[in-house]
Structure 1
Amino acid sequence: MNGADTAFVLISAALVMLMTPGLAFFYGGMVRVKSALNMLMMSFVSLGIVTVLWVLFGYSLAFGDDVGAGLLGDLGHIGFRGIGPETLTGGKEGIPVFAFALFQLMFAVITPALMSGALADRVKFSAWALFITLWVSVVYFPVAHWVWQADGWLFKLKVIDFAGGTAVHINAGIGALAAVLVVGKRIGFKKDPMRPHSLPLVVLGTGLLWFGWFGFNAGSALAANGTAANMAMNTQVATGAAMLGWLAYERIRHGAFTTLGAASGAVAGLVAITPSGAAVNAFGALLIGVVAGAVCSWAVSLKFRFGFDDSLDVVGVHLVGGVIGTLLVGLLATDGVGGATQLGRQAAGAFSVMAYSFAVSWLLAKLVDKTIGFRATEDDEVGGLDQAFHAETAYDLTGAFSVARSAAPAPQRPAGPPDQAGPDQAGTPQNKKVDV
């Protein structure tokens, strides 16, 4: 066992785990206050559901021996059967399989959580839990096998996806679009203001995502080496450039540099560099970031043009950003890798994942909708999903209001005869004559 590489992968797995709560804060601050907890829970619950599925059969389907044609792994490792603490990857100088499996588990956890932002404010929590259970089983696990297992058909096609542009971001983005088309628009879409209730939470979530993404990207080297260092540097470069690209477009188009734009631009850069960062130099990362920031800023407006209600811009950031990063690696890859041939491979990988994920995600969303119902009731949506599904509210302000009331001076009664004193809080006379 290589102890340094093992420690590096375990730390990276912990960083990637932190990204899911970070995503919960990022999305949670962007919704209205009445559904803030529901948005947090839609991300957070993935840590429970996907972990259980990963142990039962997910790891085996994604990284088990290929059953043929590079489409799916076998079930030889159900419950991690045949894998022990001393089982290594990579022969004599490998890392424990459990370290690799834990790292990959965190990718599986965050991918369906990314989709939740597109469906904010309007779906039943139980239906969401069922949907992601089905989705990771028949969409994510097979696609991960295609991309990252040595026998996967996209891996053999030599599609470059270092850390998840196709398997994570394109997969989640197009799947979210399919689900949105089934579920429909929020009540008041294009009519009511639906502003973020807490931009500080959005920035906090962005910071946690940015921090964790170093584990997401550099950790995908599975070793503490030069590739990991190059990927970490390019992650920082692309993210910073994308934030500036988004803000520049926003200033030209809308006349302001917004906090939400800065946060969204950073995430767009993180998405775009994910598939390509190990294959490009720092200048390539800079270019990828600027392009992703500006294009994704433009792409989020498409939901208004085409009329699909992607609540928190999952399609505009993750799908578009993932496609940008996946394709640009074909043009910008160094060491003789880039070129027309590689661009064709990248396009084949991106669009095959899009086609499969969209079709199956749409069918799964329809299945959930026709069986238990995907959409929350109108009363629940208008009143807020926090109370409807969680019996809680994000902010308890009753104590603050009671303190404010007790500190306020008592109202003065108007002067006059006792039987003509001012009204009480119910609007009735305080001293009413009564015949005895």
Structure 2
Amino acid sequence: MTLKKSLPAALPVALLPALARAQEVAPAPSAGDTAFVATCALVVMLMMLPGLGLFYAGMARSKNVLSVLTHIFASVALIAVLWMAYGYSLSFDEGGLNAVIGGTGKLFLAGVTPDSMVGTIPEYLYVLFMLMFAAITPPIIVGAFAERMKFAAVLVFMAVWLTINYVPMAHMAWGGGWVFDIGVQDFAGGNVVHLNAGMAALVCALVLGPRRGYGTTMMAPHNMTMTYTGGAMLWVGWLAFCGGCALAANGFSALVMLNTMLGGAGGALGWMAAEWLHRGRASTFGLLSGAIGGLVAITPACGFVGPAGAVAVGFLTAPACVFAVEGVKRRFGYDDSFDVFGVHGVGAAVGGVLTVVFASPVLGGLGYPEGRSLMTQMLPQLAIMGFSILVSLATTWIALKIAGALVGLRVDEEAEFDGLDTSEHGEVGYRLGDGTYAGAAVQAGPVGHAAPVPAGAAARTAG
């Protein structure tokens, strides 16, 4: 079955505005589609808050747990307002420099009414669903600079990065820009969300430099139960994240959700297998990390592959992420606190390539745009992935420089030693029975390297 035969069902969610504009007769509103997408939006909200927050916060040291939660919570709130003010318009409105950026006709959602539609759902709901994509992408980067970046710098960085990176990237890929017409197989944001955020994480880690004591001080996760809870919520939310992209409650959206589930399962098993071979045992951390890596990889593929292909995409991606986390990171010595680059960046790159491979009908996939083969589809796939990487590298560096010039990037040495919970927010995450703070004093000094910390998307002993 070719991709063309499956349209419009196989279109990514953000392609629907252009499709709707091209249709002479608008489709009738669907209560079922509306209820489905609304439910997906709510579940994705839980994926962000508290899911992503708990997942990252458990990886931090106890003296920084609240700072991680606060960075993510505040970023989501800020981005939601900016999306309403100009993000949606510049991403999806016609006009402007249409190849690169959208128009200003829907600033502050001007012209959007309860009666306006996108496909078979209300436009207000479409605004909300796409807000969830915008609001979760920049906070993913928090995992790269956790435990050392000023809160004010985080807010400036998030606002600038959303404006100069995410909004034009979303428009170019989804809102009718030039990438829109290339025919890349990226169903739910492998490039715009995960590859983009993963490369941004690497830039942040390199520009800010390592945490003080990195390589000599134990920096293992302080609460694996918290990370487990957040990771499980991310997996649940990912089904809605990808499934809602069909914008319809039908068999195709069910396939997308099934593929997403299987991609995460394949990733968990792939990481577990690699870790078992490498360390002689499996870990909770490895299972969580593998599931996230598999989910990242299946994000571009979920609308183009079959169920068996989905398992393969996740399973084959996981070892590449293990290599990035355990090998590349140690070899080059950068401090990507929670391995955002190793899991999101590498996972999205590998997943983007495997999408084309397992989209082949021979392997149970839905096929390629008419006239294309595996090789002719792979060329634009790689080209746009390369373009996404370059844009992320450049815009992230610019956003960091702007934040640094305005408020400075890093907390001072004393504040980092004490922990960002107290130094930045005047709060503590945990208190002992006598009311004293269980934080920096417990964790500060060099402790060398204890037994190997399980592989996973988290801060580790390094070196």
The reply to whether TM is greater than 0.5 is yes
Question: Which residue pairs with 1:2 in the alignment?
Answer: 30
| Matches for 1:212-227 after TM superposition, within 5 Å | 212-227=237-252
Does 1:109 find its partner at 2:144? no
- Residues 364-387 of structure 1 show CA distances to partners (whole Å, capped at 9, x for unaligned) of 112212331101100011110000
CA distance in 1, matches of 2:393, 2:149: 19
CA distance in 2, matches of 1:262, 1:335: 29
Q: Which amino acid aligns with 1:218?
A: G
Cα RMSD of the aligned pairs, angstroms, is 1.4
Confirm or deny: 8 A CA contact 1:66 1:152 kept in the other structure: no
Q: 1:316 to 1:66 in 2, by over 3 A?
A: farther
Aligned counterpart in structure 1 of residue 206 of structure 2, from 160, 181, 198 = 181
Q: Which SS does the other structure have where 1:275 is aligned?
A: helix
Does 1:296 find its partner at 2:327? no
Aligned counterpart in structure 2 of residue 348 of structure 1, from 383, 390, 410 = 383
CA distance in 2, matches of 1:26, 1:111: 15
Does 1:372 find its partner at 2:401? no
Aligned counterpart in structure 2 of residue 363 of structure 1, from 390, 398, 403 = 398
CA distance in 2, matches of 1:66, 1:318: 33
Confirm or deny: 8 A CA contact 1:329 1:343 kept in the other structure: no
CA distance in 1, matches of 2:62, 2:95: 47
Q: Larger RCO: Structure 1 or Structure 2 (Cα < 8 Å, ≥ 6 residues apart)? A: 2
Q: Which SS does the other structure have where 1:45 is aligned?
A: helix
Aligned counterpart in structure 1 of residue 86 of structure 2, from 48, 57, 62 = 57
CA distance in 1, matches of 2:71, 2:436: 30
| Matches for 1:70-85 after TM superposition, within 5 Å | 70-85=99-114
Does 1:335 find its partner at 2:363? no
Confirm or deny: 8 A CA contact 2:146 2:337 kept in the other structure: yes
Deviation at 1:396, TM superposition (A): 2.0
Deviation at 1:255, TM superposition (A): 2.6
Q: Which SS does the other structure have where 1:257 is aligned?
A: coil
| Matches for 1:199-218 after TM superposition, within 5 Å | 199-218=224-243
Q: 1:327 to 1:369 in 2, by over 3 A?
A: same
Q: 1:189 to 1:54 in 2, by over 3 A?
A: same
CA distance in 1, matches of 2:436, 2:389: 50
Does 1:37 find its partner at 2:66? yes
CA distance in 2, matches of 1:15, 1:322: 22
CA distance in 2, matches of 1:199, 1:70: 45
Question: Which residue pairs with 2:171 in the alignment?
Answer: 145
Gaps of 5+ in 1: 403-436
Confirm or deny: 8 A CA contact 2:100 2:171 kept in the other structure: yes
Q: 1:212 to 1:336 in 2, by over 3 A?
A: closer
CA distance in 2, matches of 1:44, 1:263: 22
Q: Which SS does the other structure have where 1:340 is aligned?
A: helix
Gaps of 5+ in 2: 1-28, 360-364, 438-463
Question: Which residue pairs with 2:25 in the alignment?
Answer: none
CA distance in 1, matches of 2:413, 2:405: 17
CA distance in 1, matches of 2:279, 2:73: 34
Deviation at 1:214, TM superposition (A): 1.0
Identity fraction in percent: 41
Question: Which residue pairs with 2:116 in the alignment?
Answer: 87
Question: Which residue pairs with 1:247 in the alignment?
Answer: 272
CA distance in 2, matches of 1:161, 1:146: 13
Deviation at 1:336, TM superposition (A): 3.1
Question: Which residue pairs with 1:192 in the alignment?
Answer: 217
- Residues 323-347 of structure 1 show CA distances to partners (whole Å, capped at 9, x for unaligned) of 1111111111123315011111211
Q: Which SS does the other structure have where 2:121 is aligned?
A: coil
Q: Which SS does the other structure have where 1:274 is aligned?
A: helix
Q: Which structure has the bigger radius of gyration?
A: 1
Question: Which residue pairs with 1:420 in the alignment?
Answer: none
Question: Which residue pairs with 1:395 in the alignment?
Answer: 430
- Count residues in correspondence: 398
Q: Which SS does the other structure have where 1:40 is aligned?
A: helix
TM-score (norm 1): 0.89
- Residues 302-353 of structure 1 show CA distances to partners (whole Å, capped at 9, x for unaligned) of 1221121101000000001111111111111123315011111211121101
Q: Which amino acid aligns with 1:387?
A: T
